[in-house]
Amino acid sequence: MIRAATVDDIAEIRAMIRELAEYERAAEQARATEEQLREALFAEVPAAFVLMAEDDETGQAVGYALWFPRFSTWTGRRGMHLEDLYVRSYARGGGHGKALLASLAAVCQQNGYERFEWWVLAWNEPAIGFYKSLGVELLDEWTVCRLSGEPLEQLAAQAPAVINRTSGKDSCPH
Catalytic residue among 64, 86, 113, 131: 131
d(CA 143, CA 77): 22
For this structure, is 113 an active site residue?
Answer: no
Active site residues: 131
